[in-house]
Amino acid sequence: MVCFRLSVTLTMKSLAGLGLLLFVRTLTADEIGVQVPDGFEVTEFAGDELAHDIYSMTVDSKGRVVVAGAGYVKILVDNDGDGKADEAKLFSEFPKNGAQGMHFNGRSLVCVGDGGLLRLKDADGDDKADGPPEVFLKLKTGGEHDAHSIQQGPDGWWYVIAGNSAGINAKYRQSSRHVRESCSV
């Protein structure tokens, strides 16, 4: 999998908000049919040799692109400032089944995978998780209709997108003091 980025004068966090494009092989914008507004361009940020079979992506607290796949979470680093990742630092070998959603809270990564909502701490700031993840909340993960994305809202609450097979229902809410129903479907 190849990671592309949109290039314009914005912060990395804003860039992540616009979205990085992921493709199976290196292609030009015209070949993949991507149309971007004037002032934008599509460029390759990282190739398959740095991160293979990417499931999800986020930006860490230092503004670096972080990607995950089965058995890895990697920080993609642009050492020379040329707009292309030069190395991939292994942050963690968890979640083993791949993070379906990730969000950095300071130096800690909150992610969905391996049967729950997980936190991987990096207390010493060495860009490596300090050990196995802490399980915040057990959830069904890994399938198309299971739990996926994790985001922190402006209200400070964490929001998880959970599909119809994730097992989230009224009984689940009653069994956990950490779950609040914010809407009904």
Q: What's the pLDDT score for residue 176?
A: 57
| pLDDT tens-place values along the chain, 185 residues long | 334 333 333 333 333 333 444 333 456 667 777 888 888 888 889 989 999 999 999 999 999 999 999 999 999 999 999 999 999 999 999 999 999 899 999 999 999 999 999 999 999 999 999 999 999 888 889 888 898 888 888 988 888 888 888 877 777 666 555 555 444 33
pTM, two decimal places: 0.76
Closest listed residue to residue 47, CA positions, set 1, 91, 10: 1
Residue 94: what pLDDT? Answer: 96
What CA–CA distance (Å, rounded) separates 148 from 34? 26
How many CB atoms within 10 Å of residue 42? 20
- The domain spans of the chain are 2-175
The distance from CA 51 to its chain's CA centroid, rounded to whole angstroms, is 13
Residue from 89, 62, 60 nearest 77 by CA: 89
